[in-house]
Amino acid sequence: MKKSAVGLIAVSVLFLLFAASQAAAQGANASPAFKAPLLLTSAGQSPDGQLAAILARRAGVEHTLSPMATVDELAGVGSLGIVVGASLKGLGAAGIDTGKEKERVRALVTEATRRNIPVLFFHLGGDQRRGQLTDEMVTEYLPLAQWALILKSGNFDGLFSRLAQEHNVPLHEVERTADGQEIVKAAFQPQG
């Protein structure tokens, strides 16, 4: 083999190694480390907030579940978790209509963003928790998040995948809610 061909191969190998290391670095940054305490709140007043709280507890993440969290509760918070899933029964029990609920969550996410508090998005109700109101909230809040965890069955039409890709949000899909425990734990681990 000629020296020029060997040199070209060596340069090509170096370039491929560099490209691979860059891709690995970008992949490592795809799921940033978040800070506790985590404030979890419902967007839609479904019982799915309890599922997110169980995941956080099992993952060893300091957290508070406040289904009707307000902007005042962001003081001292490291991360905000929005648990999206609309329940008309839950909204009725909370004495709030859909417009007021959307307004509350929008204000919370806006203020968290202003304070540089990262937003985590959860949809743990699967396909049974999908519907017009839930889809409206998914479409509004997922693009504002820095990370998302969903039950795979809820992504039957690709809505979550499309929004996550369009807005560069790392999306984690699990078959069962319990499978999200390690993903939540990893999200709060220092990256190195």
- CA dist list (Å): 25 to 32, 161, 187: 12, 22, 16
pLDDT at residue 27 in the model: 41
Q: Where are the domains of the chain?
A: 1-30, 33-187
Which position has the higher pLDDT, 30 or 125? 125
pLDDT at residue 191 in the model: 63
pLDDT at residue 189 in the model: 86
Edge-to-edge strands of the sheet including 147-151? Answer: 63-65, 38-43, 79-84, 119-123, 147-151, 171-174
**Which tens digits make up the pLDDT trace of 146-183?**
999 999 999 999 999 999 999 999 999 999 999 999 99
Distance CA 40, CA 119 (A): 10
Look at residue 124 and tell me whether its pLDDT is greater than 50: yes
Architecture in CATH for domain 33-187? 3-Layer(aba) Sandwich (3.40)
